[in-house]
């Protein structure tokens, strides 16, 4: 089983729609969680951290469910500019140091 | 702003060549990482380093080595390039060992081995 699993998509949604991505992780001792965004032919950039209590940043909401070992990203009122690949990132302890593991990414295409 | 700079955007090398990919960060970060990114496989960790002269194997270290002689510089070495090492290589850095901080990426090096 992969350490971090995501549905690669693509998710094709109309402008204004709400879309949600899930990501599951296998290591129950994982400690930190993030969503990164990667535009075509660009490097990944941090979108938001994911906190246990859930957190929101404008149209974006991230949630963590430790019991079921998944994190989610909800995008409301999708914009064309939201089209990108969204990477789930999980960190865990590896021999005393943190190992950062990326999911395969979920591709989102927002269509007019 | 944090800046992570990779020495080349595009490289074409021949099979069997020794290839050096250089990465420099300007924010005194402790951690540095090398990933490769391939369609359908996502980002896979090759090696990481948490301090000068320290290195740890990632998930796919075979065929690669690394060097970290200075804190700001992390080099990835392909000892004898092969066609299956054709990929996008991404370098990243982050502040601390704790792993709960943002990772900053370089712009990537697209390597083609012919």
Q: pLDDT grade, residue B98 (50/70/90)? A: low
Other beta carbons within 10 angstroms of residue A85's beta carbon come to 22
Q: pLDDT grade, residue B94 (50/70/90)? A: confident
DSSP-assigned letter for residue B9: S
Cα–Cα dist B79/A25, whole Å: 33
Cα–Cα dist A39/B108, whole Å: 13
User: Position of tokens 């996008």?
Assistant: B88
Tokens standing for residue A105: 């990414």
User: Position of tokens 């992390």?
Assistant: B74
pLDDT for residue A56: 95
Higher-scoring residue by pLDDT: B1, B76 = B76
pLDDT for residue B103: 85
Q: Could you tell me if residue A18 is left (phi over 0), alpha (psi between -120 and 50 degrees) or otherwise beta?
A: beta
Chains A, B: CB contacts within 8 A come to 58
What pLDDT digit, counting tens, does each position of B5-47 carry?
999 999 999 999 999 999 999 989 988 999 999 988 889 999 9
Tokens standing for residue A20: 């949600």
Are residues B91 and B106 in contact, defined by beta-carbon separation less than 8 angstroms?
Answer: yes
Other beta carbons within 10 angstroms of residue B5's beta carbon come to 13
Q: Which class for B102: exposed (0-12), middle (13-18), buried (19 or more C-beta within 10 A)?
A: middle
Which H or E run contains B31?
strand B31-38
Are residues B82 and B107 in contact, defined by beta-carbon separation less than 8 angstroms?
Answer: no
Residue B111 has pLDDT above 90, yes or no: yes
Residue B51 has pLDDT above 70, yes or no: yes
3-state class of A69 per DSSP? Answer: coil
Mind telling me how many Å the CA of A34 is from chain B's nearest CA? 8
pLDDT for residue B2: 66
Determine the average pLDDT of the residues in B44-73.
94
What pLDDT digit, counting tens, does each position of A68-108 carry?
999 999 999 999 999 999 999 998 876 667 778 899 999 99
pLDDT for residue A29: 85
Using only the alpha carbons of chain B, give its radius of gyration.
13
Contact A31 B102 (CB under 8 A): no
Q: pLDDT grade, residue B77 (50/70/90)? A: very high
Q: Any residues with CB less than 8 A from the CB of A25 and at least 6 apart, and which?
A: A3, A4, A5, A33, A69, A70, A71, A88, A90, A101
Give percent of chain B with pLDDT exceeding 90.
Answer: 75
3-state class of A81 per DSSP? Answer: helix
What pLDDT digit, counting tens, does each position of A49-62 carry?
998 888 999 999 99
Q: Best residue in B94, B99, B102, B107 to probe A by mutation, most A CBs within 10 Å?
A: B99
Q: List the single residue in A with minimal CA-CA distance to B2.
A: A45
Are residues B11 and B78 in contact, defined by beta-carbon separation less than 8 angstroms?
Answer: no
Using CB atoms, pick whichever of B42, B94, B100 lies closest to residue A31: B100
């Amino acid at each position: 089983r992969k350490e971090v699993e995501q549905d690669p998509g693509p998710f094709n949604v109309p402008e204004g729609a709400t879309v949600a991505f899930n990501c599951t992780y296998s290591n129950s001792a994982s400690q930190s969680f993030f969503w990164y965004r990667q535009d075509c032919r660009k490097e990944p950039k941090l979108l938001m951290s994911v906190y246990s209590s859930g957190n929101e940043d404008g149209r974006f909401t991230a949630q963590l469910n430790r019991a079921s070992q998944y994190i989610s990203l909800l995008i409301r009122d999708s914009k064309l500019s939201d089209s990108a690949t969204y990477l789930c990132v999980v960190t865990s302890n590896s021999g005393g140091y943190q190992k950062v593991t990326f999911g395969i990414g979920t591709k989102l295409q927002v269509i007019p | 702003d944090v800046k992570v700079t990779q020495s080349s955007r595009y490289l074409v090398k021949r099979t069997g060549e020794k290839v050096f990919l250089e990465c420099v960060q300007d924010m005194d970060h402790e951690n540095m990482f090398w990933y490769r990114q391939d369609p359908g496989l996502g980002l896979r960790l090759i090696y990481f380093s948490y301090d000068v002269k320290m290195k740890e194997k990632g998930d796919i270290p075979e065929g690669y080595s690394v060097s970290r002689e200075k804190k700001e510089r992390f080099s990835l070495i392909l000892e004898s390039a092969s066609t299956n090492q054709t990929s996008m290589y991404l370098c990243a850095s982050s502040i601390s060992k704790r792993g709960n901080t943002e990772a900053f990426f370089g712009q990537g090096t697209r390597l083609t081995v012919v």
